[in-house]
């Protein structure tokens, strides 16, 4: 059997929505055993976001494959005992409950470290939850769009007339990625020291890290990047342009050599390269509307394929503006065999293999769990008898 990097690592997670589930799914991809603790009867509320994937929620099937689901009412004593036994065998605890909830359940790093000195505890919250430096926002609820707003992302995204959110859960994803990478680093560190540690992940701080370019662009009161729709705010021409057959191509110029090649080969107007309005990127940005009109006029006589052929000939970066259905059929993903299948309670579905091909092992691509699917099996592994399990079911502790 093929060994994966995190085989033998057990992760217990009290998670919902996207940030923590995305983090732990990636740990599962690498072979970790991820035990997802959910509320009896309801589960992770992301299960009910929509019914687009054979009756299952799109967010949930994306972020929860290869996990085991156990249902526990963690406010009941029996369920707390089960959770305590799970943590005896855990390497990592991840949680993104409401502010303060984990501490009230006795799941803070401070409460757990004496009993489980090797346990790594990763807390994911909207604004950070360091008891020594709580900040005024610590207890505020936080969701993806709210953090996109609070981090300044909306101020530089959209059109000149109106801001726009990202089309995917970018703030959740950023927090999930930093949680994932910090847990990997903590596992490496524990291999040297033998000790676990606490990881405090803030959605706001994760997103602001990604905002550092526009923040530095607006350094010391300078004007921030303008909202430029799908075009780049500070490099031009870099963005979408319509073609004569009613489609759109995306292109991006990075330097003056490419600008000269674009004028020569794509626009077939070499004199434009030295036009005083456009002979540097700063001037092209300042005069973007005049330049856009010239480019659109040239592209109006070209089909999409003709425009892309010229852009490729000039060695200018470009892309098609694909729809979701186009991406499902993307030639590059097909050619690189990037699609697999995973099972769900509603049957098999396609799933993208996680980024990062390597020659040593294959990613784990196990089923998306039904709510509480593994409860009895996990309890039996922990030593609970059939009568114990029946009693806890009757008392709605599980």
Residues spanned by CATH 3.40.50.10540 within the chain?
10-210+333-394
Would the CA dihedral through 139, 144, 148, 154 be positive or negative? negative
Helix/strand/coil (H/E/C) assignment for every residue in the chain: CCCCCCCCCEEEEECCCCHHHHHHHHHHHCCCEEEEEECCCCCCHHHHCCCCECCECHHHHHHCCCEEEEECCCCCHHHHHHHHHHHHCCCEEEECCCCCHHHHCCCCHHHHHCCCCCCEEEEEECCCCCCCCCCCCCCCCCCHHHHHHHCCHHHHCECCCCECCCCCCHHHHHHHHHHHHHHHHHHHHHHHHCCCCEEEEEHHHHHHHHCHHHHHHCHHHCCCCCCCCCCCCCCCCEEEEECCCCCEEEEECCCHHHHHHHHHHHCCCHHHHHCCCCCCHHHHHHCHHHHHHHHHHHHCCCCHHHHHHHHHHCCCEEEECCCHHHHHCCHHHHHCCCEEEECCCCCCEEEECCCCCCCCCCCCCCCCCCCCCCHHHHHHHCCCCHHHHHHHHHCCCC
pLDDT value at residue 360? 79
Biggest distance spanned by C-alpha atoms of the chain: 86
End-to-end CA distance of the chain: 34
Cut 0.85: pTM above it: yes
Dist. CA 182–CA 35, nearest whole Å: 19
Residue 197 has pLDDT above 60, yes or no: yes
Dist. CA 398–CA 378, nearest whole Å: 12
Class of domain 10-210+333-394 as given by CATH: alpha beta
Residue 2 has pLDDT above 80, yes or no: no
Q: What percent of the chain has pLDDT over 90?
A: 92
Residue 375 has pLDDT above 90, yes or no: yes
pLDDT value at residue 1? 53
Residues 6+ apart with CB under 8 A from 387: none
Neighbour order of strands in the sheet with 33-38? 67-71, 33-38, 10-14, 92-95, 120-125, 198-202
Q: How confident is the model over 74-97, as pLDDT tens digits?
A: 999 999 999 999 999 999 999 999
pLDDT value at residue 313? 96
Instruction: Return contacts of 137-143, CB within 8 angstroms, 24+ apart.
Output: 137/204, 138/99, 139/99, 139/100, 140/99, 141/98, 141/99, 142/203, 142/204, 143/17
Average pLDDT, the chain: 95
Let me know: does 370 contact 345? Beta carbons within 8 Å: yes
The domain 238-321 is placed in CATH, from the list 3.30.1540.10, 3.40.50.720, 3.30.565.10, 3.90.1150.10, at: 3.30.1540.10
Q: How confident is the model over 59-73, as pLDDT tens digits?
A: 999 999 999 999 999
Number of Cβ within a 10 Å radius of residue 167: 7
Q: Give me the active site residues, please.
A: 232
Residues spanned by CATH 3.30.1540.10 within the chain?
238-321
Would the CA dihedral through 339, 343, 344, 345 be positive or negative? positive
Let me know: does 244 contact 301? Beta carbons within 8 Å: yes
pLDDT band at 132 (very low <50, low <70, confident <90, very high): confident
Q: What percent of the chain has pLDDT over 70?
A: 99
Q: How confident is the model over 341-370, as pLDDT tens digits?
A: 999 999 999 999 999 877 778 889 999 999
CA 232 to chain centre: 22
pLDDT value at residue 357? 76
For residues 267-285, average pLDDT? 96
């Amino acid at each position: 059997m093929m060994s994966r990097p995190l085989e033998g690592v057990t992760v217990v997670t009290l998670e919902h929505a996207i940030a923590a589930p995305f983090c732990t799914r990636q740990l599962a991809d690498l072979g970790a055993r991820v035990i997802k603790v959910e509320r009896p009867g309801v589960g992770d509320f992301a299960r009910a976001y929509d019914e687009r994937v054979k009756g299952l929620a799109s967010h949930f099937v994306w972020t929860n494959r290869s996990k085991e689901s156990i249902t526990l009412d963690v406010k009941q004593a029996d369920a707390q005992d089960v959770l305590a036994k799970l943590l005896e065998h855990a390497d990592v605890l991840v949680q993104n409950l409401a502010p303060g909830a984990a501490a009230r359940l006795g799941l803070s790093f401070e409460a757990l470290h004496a009993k489980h000195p090797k346990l790594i505890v990763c807390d994911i919250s909207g604004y950070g939850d360091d008891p020594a430096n709580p900040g005024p926002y610590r207890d505020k609820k936080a969701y993806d769009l709210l953090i996109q707003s609070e981090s300044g992302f909306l101020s530089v995204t959209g059109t000149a007339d109106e801001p726009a959110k990202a089309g995917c859960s970018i703030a959740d994803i950023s927090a999930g990625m930093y949680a994932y990478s910090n847990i990997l680093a903590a596992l490496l560190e524990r291999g040297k020291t033998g000790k676990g540690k606490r990881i405090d992940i803030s959605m706001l701080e994760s997103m602001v890290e990604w905002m550092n370019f526009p923040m530095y662009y607006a350094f010391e009161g300078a004007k921030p990047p303008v909202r430029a729709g799908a075009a780049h705010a500070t490099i031009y021409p870099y963005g979408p342009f319509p073609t004569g057959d009613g489609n759109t191509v995306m292109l991006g110029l990075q330097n003056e050599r490419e600008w000269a090649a674009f004028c020569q080969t794509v626009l077939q107007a070499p004199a434009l390269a030295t036009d005083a309005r456009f002979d540097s990127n700063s001037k092209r940005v300042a005069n973007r509307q005049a330049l856009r009109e010239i480019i659109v006029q040239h592209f109006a006589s070209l089909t999409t394929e003709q425009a892309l052929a010229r852009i490729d000939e000039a060695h200018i970066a470009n892309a098609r503006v694909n729809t979701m259905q186009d991406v499902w059929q993307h030639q590059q993903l097909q050619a690189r065999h990037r699609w697999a299948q995973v099972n769900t309670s509603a049957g098999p579905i396609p799933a993208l293999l996680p980024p990062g091909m390597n020659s040593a092992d294959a990613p784990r691509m196990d089923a998306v769990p039904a709510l509480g699917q593994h409860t009895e099996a996990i309890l039996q592994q922990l030593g609970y008898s059939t009568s114990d399990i029946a009693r806890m079911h009757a008392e709605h502790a599980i």
